[in-house]
Structure 1
């Protein structure tokens, strides 16, 4: 049985593989989208939670007006270290922080932004309440979440392939966590419970995930996410064998050369 607590652990070789494989595969299109939405509001101070290795941070550093201050936080220091090492074209404050216990004053940010992070928060209402606490009056929380796994073709193919490799105990990290918080009604309830009184706005955005070969997404998902820990905890097949099985499944579905699959997410805007 996998422990959900391990879903939030991004350490070891995961940050580097996450940044080199998963970021260009699925995160960059939505990072540019989110950065444009933030910049359009002309904020003076922006807080990013669950910043990871900084794909949105870098996009916002390019898109935000020169006067805007940007603070990027994440629970996992190794992810922030990777983001800081890659760097940004303008100064950014990188700070380790738990989104459910933010170390910032009340009403100190115009916008709180989070890309594909809220699914990992064990206390989503608490994290939303903290975002609301640090927002100034009239500010906004902008975040995105992955849609159901069936709408995200590489993730679905990998999960199905691993169920064949480990039929007695399939690794379900992708379905359980990254793709486990897509229901609009549930998200709206959590935001209301956190004190957001204005009905949130949702927009569903589909994009394409492309790679030069089937092996790239197989490595990205199997070795660049906490799915790796689930695979390594099982007997019967090692990480390399499981990764190869996923690559074969992706190639069978999308072709032996460059691969192209659908990804889909919800963008959520909650006004304070």
Structure 2
């Protein structure tokens, strides 16, 4: 287990081997990575598709610049990155054999339209393999954040409006969306891995403070209540600190499907 600095790739490192097995990338595959962030998954796919290619897309310009720099430093010649919104980007139809995503598909405004656009980018019978969170109550990290930010004896806190990391947590919803978007052979596989939040409580608190759910909840508190909530959260992180850093249980779905 890593015990170094935390970033998104470090947080999710234990999911990497699970994803590689699910992708089953073939040497000549053309791979599309949706919501690629700094491109770790894209670069991994490119190495597996050694006679093919990988394209990573993300809406974040800084993330794409970082991804390009890392790919250049690693000498990968079959990987490219574009700042693009996969919901509406005009991909060449039938260009890709495989579309992948590591927690990059939960925030679509219109999921059916978005997955339809991704599906059209796949060749007939092309595969989709994505990782999405299961329900919030099955993810210790979300439970602990919400419990810590709630006043003792008070009501449970909810984030309210904003991005919903658990929008694809319900298997029936996922299946209905993908069928409407033109996919078949839809399978959800239960996976659970610990997620890494940093080498110590201070680093973990800084990392969690960047989460949309944390920001949204703290904004709803007055300064004194926010300070108390952060102190409770630090205590919760300290209680979960080991020699290997701060880790939380998590559960996700690996969703596989084929374009009709």
TM-score normalised to the size of structure 2? Answer: 0.82
Q: Secondary structure at the match of 1:73?
A: strand
Cα distance, 1:256 vs. partner? 7.3
The unaligned stretches of length 5 or more in structure 2 are: none
| Residue matched to 1:245 | 232
| Residue matched to 1:61 | 46
Q: Secondary structure at the match of 2:200?
A: coil
Q: Secondary structure at the match of 1:190?
A: helix
Distance in structure 2 (CA, Å) of the matches to 1:164 and 1:33? 38
Distance in structure 2 (CA, Å) of the matches to 1:86 and 1:231? 34
Aligned counterpart for 1:29 among listed residues 14, 20, 27: 14
Q: Higher helix share goes to which structure?
A: 1
> How many residues matched?
248
RMSD: 2.9
Aligned counterpart for 1:207 among listed residues 193, 199, 217: 193
Deviation string 1:37-67 (CA, Å, 9 cap, x unpaired) is 33444442111111122231233234x1311
Q: Secondary structure at the match of 1:120?
A: coil
Cα distance, 1:242 vs. partner? 5.1
Contact kept? 2:136, 2:166, Cα under 8 Å: yes
| Residue matched to 1:259 | 246
User: CA, structure 1 residues 174+140, in 2 after alignment: closer, same or farther (shift >3 Å)?
Assistant: farther
| Residue matched to 1:9 | none
Cα distance, 1:170 vs. partner? 3.8
Cα distance, 1:142 vs. partner? 0.9
Q: Spell out the pairing of 1:63-102 with structure 2 (5 A cutoff).
A: 64-87=48-71, 89=74, 90-91=76-77, 92-102=79-89
Distance in structure 2 (CA, Å) of the matches to 1:57 and 1:174? 31
Cα distance, 1:175 vs. partner? 10
Aligned counterpart for 2:31 among listed residues 35, 38, 46: 46
| Residue matched to 1:227 | 213
TM-score normalised to the size of structure 1? Answer: 0.79
The unaligned stretches of length 5 or more in structure 1 are: 1-18
Cα distance, 1:202 vs. partner? 1.4
Distance in structure 1 (CA, Å) of the matches to 2:247 and 2:6? 18
Cα distance, 1:28 vs. partner? 1.9
Larger Rg, first or second structure (1 or 2): 2
